[in-house]
A = this chain, B = another copy of it.
Amino acid sequence: MDSIGFTVRYGRQLVPIGGPDAETGYRLVGRDKDGEIECTLVVNEQTGALSYDFHRDIERGTELTFRCDFRETDTTVQSCYLDNRLGVWNALRLCETLQDGIVAFSCWEEHGGGSVAYLARYIYETYGVRQALISDITWVTEGVRPGEGVAISLRDSLIPRRSYVERIRRIAREAGIPHQLEVEGSGGSDAKELQHGAQPWDWCFIGAPEDNVHSPDEIVDKRDIDSMLALYQVLMREL
């Protein structure tokens, strides 16, 4: 639901969708009126301008995404778009055991958002629910390490309500679920639309960390996926 990539502009120019990592040689796929496309990303070393290498011209406005090369080991999964396919996977797995709660899938988070405002209002006004968890993937940093558990974000460019985050941390500790605390000064998530909307939502970002962010080689430690799902299961019961 949340693929980043590129749009074909004029000539062989590309413009990014969201913030994809760009390196010459990345394989891109898509489809236009002349059929299936598998081409190569080219980054101009001087200007940074983006283009593609292909045997024919691609129709203006065509969307290209990373070709998926899914790799799995005993301890990791690796692919493009784990951010945020893993968040979606987590939400779907959660449905297997969920008793009370709403699982909402939002679009366009990597490209300016726009669906959460509607969802937030609809859910609040229809069901009176106003506690949210953001099931998305975060970044491995010097303070958030692969294999050490799902990350609970204490802040990014926005700051969630302290009392809500404290309740989440207490539930995680009491359940004995491995987790890490993330503190960033920038970045954001769909929580931005909850924070800025006209309904009084509490929110907290909770997600496994990945490395090689927004590249075809995103990689996540399976232990962090396990603790992510386990934490969501307990939080959806106890929050």
Q: Using CB atoms and an 8 Å cutoff, list the residues of chain A in contact with chain B.
A: 7-11, 15-17, 60-61, 108, 111-114, 117-118, 120-121, 141-143, 154-155, 157-159, 181, 183-185, 192-193, 195-200
Tell whether, in the assembled complex, residue B118 and residue A8 are in contact, meaning their CB atoms are under 8 Å apart: no
In the bound complex, residues from chain B placing their C-beta under 8 Å from that of A196 are 112-114, 117, 193
Tell whether, in the assembled complex, residue B195 and residue A198 are in contact, meaning their CB atoms are under 8 Å apart: no
In the bound complex, residues from chain B placing their C-beta under 8 Å from that of A111 are 158-159
Tell whether, in the assembled complex, residue A184 and residue B154 are in contact, meaning their CB atoms are under 8 Å apart: no
Tell whether, in the assembled complex, residue A10 and residue B141 are in contact, meaning their CB atoms are under 8 Å apart: yes
Partner of A159, one of B10, B17, B120, B200: B17
Tell whether, in the assembled complex, residue B183 and residue A8 are in contact, meaning their CB atoms are under 8 Å apart: yes
Tell whether, in the assembled complex, residue B8 and residue A117 are in contact, meaning their CB atoms are under 8 Å apart: no
The CA-CA distance from A60 to B10 in the complex, in Å, is 45
In chain B, what residue has the closest Cβ to A120? B198
In chain B, what residue has the closest Cβ to A158? B112
The CA-CA distance from A141 to B112 in the complex, in Å, is 24
In chain B, what residue has the closest Cβ to A165? B61
Partner of A16, one of B7, B120, B185: B185
Tell whether, in the assembled complex, residue B10 and residue A121 are in contact, meaning their CB atoms are under 8 Å apart: no
A–B pairs, 10, beta carbons within 8 Å: A7-B155, A7-B183, A7-B185, A10-B141, A11-B142, A15-B184, A60-B143, A60-B183, A112-B157, A112-B192
Tell whether, in the assembled complex, residue B118 and residue A185 are in contact, meaning their CB atoms are under 8 Å apart: no
Tell whether, in the assembled complex, residue A198 and residue B60 are in contact, meaning their CB atoms are under 8 Å apart: no
Known: A198-B118, A198-B120. A154 touches B60 (CB 8 A): yes
